[in-house]
Structure 1
Amino acid sequence: MNKRIEELDYIRGFALLGIILVNMLALLQIGIPEPHTIDASYQRFLFLFVEGRFYSIFSFLFGVGFYIFLTRARSKKQNGYVLFLRRIVILFVFGMVHMFFQPGEALAVYAVCGLLVLPFFKVNKHVNLAIGMMLLVVFAVMGEKLLLTFPLILLGLVCGQYRIFENLGEKRRLFIFTASALIFSGFALYAQYQLVPYEPFFSMIVIDEEGPIDAVSKFLRAGIMVGPVLSAFYVGLLLLLLQSKIIKLVLSPLKHYGRMALTNYVGQTALILLAGRVFNLSANLSYMGTLYICIVICAIQMVFSMIWLRYFKMGPLEWIWRVITYWTIIPLVKEK
């Protein structure tokens, strides 16, 4: 378990690409696009294929990391529970600071859910799988995105217990999983697409005064309901692609991007707000304009991550997180 699982870094980097696309809308308070424009089409694309899908992946990966951290601590004869509690406390602090700038941030939520999932670490993996799947279905049907975080993290823990990522060489099982997820995703997307509002909309769920849910909210809640299915397909497809050495090499910037996931996640917020302030983007930025800005920010962060990791062992926030977790100064600069 001591060897770093590179596929997890690729998936983290991939998840960051989707998260920024949606976070940009809220951070810069992008208005409703004009009907029958490319902006309106892009809005539909985001809420069919992106919103909630990459957050689910990020949540799941936190659960996987949770398992790996505790398992490695135990193998080194360390008190994993004390270290983990210290780890989630500093994550919560990061999250609360980040929340001042990004109200929809996830780190504080992960810290709370990490504390709730901790007792499940020693529970039988089959029991955890049953509980995780049951809660995932219930919360998905309820359309509660925030509540989905807990079962997603628990299912990440379950994948760690089943050692899924240590056995990725079993391509047949991976292909069957991805093909099944694709089929279910097709049905899920078709069902959500039937609810697509005719006009562009605000990206929030609203209940009117009489109580019934409006058309936009039905569409958005359906997106929350089917989100984990698409997330599973995205992860399966990426893992299949990574079986090719050529594709793995081409996608290698994602690996560096994902190795510094905490730094880059918080950095996305900083760069978005900086761009908005410097170029006064909030006043006239379109939906498609947010896409172009996101591409530039991700490119900058990927290049920065590759250069940084050439000289340092981990990202700056990752280093601070680790120093406080272990309460000791850990060398950051790579030895020549």
Structure 2
Amino acid sequence: MTETQTQLSSPSRERPRIAALDIVRGFALCGILLVNLPPMFGLGVDGGALHFYRFYQDFVQNRFFPIFSFLFGIGFGLMWLNARDCSPRPRLALLRRFAFLGILGGLHQLLQPGEALLPYALAGIVVLLPATWIADRWRNVTISSLGIVLLIAGVATGGGMAVIPGLFLLGFAIGGSGLLRTVLSRPGRVAITGALTLAITIVGFVATDYLTRQINGWINAGLGLTMALTYIVVVLLLLRTPAEAVLRPVFAPLGRMALSNYIGATLILVAVRMAMPDLARFDDHGGYVAGLLICVAIIIVQIIVSTLWLRRFGQGPLEKLWRLVTWGRAKLSAMHRNQRREQPSALTSSRE
């Protein structure tokens, strides 16, 4: 039995985090950092930046944001299963969770206009919470169908924030059912899915040119989704190889502290921008090379800090505060007592 299978079959009083999700989330967080850097520093297409800008648009922009949105929906589905067991008023607890995220996102907007936390909170309240009232018998089919419709509509309108509701609902359907664990235990099906999305992506790039993809937003948005799913599949398959020994210690700490690292990266970028407002003067490629080096340095620092922090505290600072707001101090104390009675499996990390 593989480590992933051991994790998936391990019984526990509270459902443990799935380490693969933390790793994929950490991987996506690195991509989000690359997405956020150019607009924060005003990097464009002047001078030798054209090729870097086109690469950024084709392989980075709108490629990692869907991963985060999809994982957010999955996380909500998993949390809903726990919330019903842990709280007599689970929807109120989750409403507090979204409210905290909205406040944090509103403050974050002051530093990074166009950030995702505030839209996530609003979509969670408007789309995810109402979906919990659908009867269990019909919920997964209903929200999956609605999620597909909303996702198609989001792509048709050019993608971006418009794909959030559809991805949230599809993620909720997967996280709130046993499908996630079934998928992770069947790498063959995961590989087939990745092959299909990769084929669609390649056809899309061969059949269009850069200007066509940028003018027709629905093409770029559709390719963003297929590339995002391909990235997810590649990471999941690599976790079945010896590469897991590298991916796990690198990306899992980032993923477990995703909220703290997301906000922390913005604070670091703002500080760097104050010290070096014009990155273009550091290289001949419009500042993209200097920006890439800054991102790599931030990621390395966050990997080290996250690893050390989790060894000492078990949760990131914002994650801990978010959890406290969601459940309250008394409920958290009871949950901690339950955790101390359990023996976690090899791939089990801290609880949601």
Distance 1:258 1:58 in 2: 10
Matches within 5 A, 1:270-309: 270-282=267-279, 284=281, 286-309=287-310
Instruction: State which of 119, 130, 134 in structure 2 corresponds to 1:109.
Output: 119
User: Shift in Å at residue 216 of structure 1?
Assistant: 8.1
Distance 1:221 1:134 in 2: 15
> What RMSD in Å do the two structures reach over aligned CA positions?
2.2
User: Shift in Å at residue 217 of structure 1?
Assistant: 4.6
More helix by share: 2
Which residue in 2 is equivalent to 1:182? Answer: 198
Amino acid at match of 2:326: T
Given that residues 33 and 287 in structure 1 are in contact (C-alpha distance below 8 angstroms), is that contact kept between their aligned partners in structure 2? no
Distance 1:263 1:10 in 2: 16
The 1:260–1:30 alpha-carbon spacing in structure 2 relative to 1, beyond 3 Å, is same
Distance 2:320 2:176 in 1: 27
Could you list the runs of 5+ residues in structure 2 that have no partner in the other structure?
1-13, 341-352
Instruction: State which of 13, 23, 37 in structure 1 corresponds to 2:36.
Output: 23
Which residue in 2 is equivalent to 1:320? Answer: 321
User: Shift in Å at residue 124 of structure 1?
Assistant: 2.5
Distance 1:153 1:90 in 2: 18
User: Shift in Å at residue 311 of structure 1?
Assistant: 0.5
Amino acid at match of 1:255: A
Given that residues 53 and 231 in structure 1 are in contact (C-alpha distance below 8 angstroms), is that contact kept between their aligned partners in structure 2? yes
Which residue in 2 is equivalent to 1:89? Answer: 99
Matches within 5 A, 1:77-226: 77-115=87-125, 116-121=127-132, 122=134, 123-167=138-182, 168-191=184-207, 194-197=208-211, 217-218=214-215, 222-226=219-223
% identical equivalent positions:
32
Deviations 1:229-263 (A, max 9, x none): 1111111111111122x211101210001000000
Matches within 5 A, 1:20-99: 20-34=33-47, 37=48, 39-99=49-109
SS in 2 for 1:284: helix
Could you list the runs of 5+ residues in structure 1 that have no partner in the other structure?
198-214
User: Shift in Å at residue 25 of structure 1?
Assistant: 0.6
Amino acid at match of 2:254: Y
SS in 1 for 2:329: coil
* TM-score (norm. length: structure 2): 0.83
Quick check: 283-292 or 2-11, which moved more? 283-292
The count of residues paired between Structure 1 and Structure 2 equals 311
Which residue in 2 is equivalent to 1:201? Answer: none
Distance 1:221 1:138 in 2: 10
Instruction: State which of 236, 245, 248 in structure 2 corresponds to 1:249.
Output: 245
Which residue in 2 is equivalent to 1:207? Answer: none
Correspondence 1:7 to 2:20: yes
Given that residues 213 and 219 in structure 2 are in contact (C-alpha distance below 8 angstroms), is that contact kept between their aligned partners in structure 1? no
User: Shift in Å at residue 282 of structure 1?
Assistant: 5.0
SS in 2 for 1:84: helix
* TM-score (norm. length: structure 1): 0.86
SS in 1 for 2:179: coil
Which residue in 2 is equivalent to 1:202? Answer: none
User: Shift in Å at residue 138 of structure 1?
Assistant: 2.1
Amino acid at match of 2:224: G
The 1:176–1:72 alpha-carbon spacing in structure 2 relative to 1, beyond 3 Å, is same
Amino acid at match of 1:150: P
User: Shift in Å at residue 157 of structure 1?
Assistant: 0.6
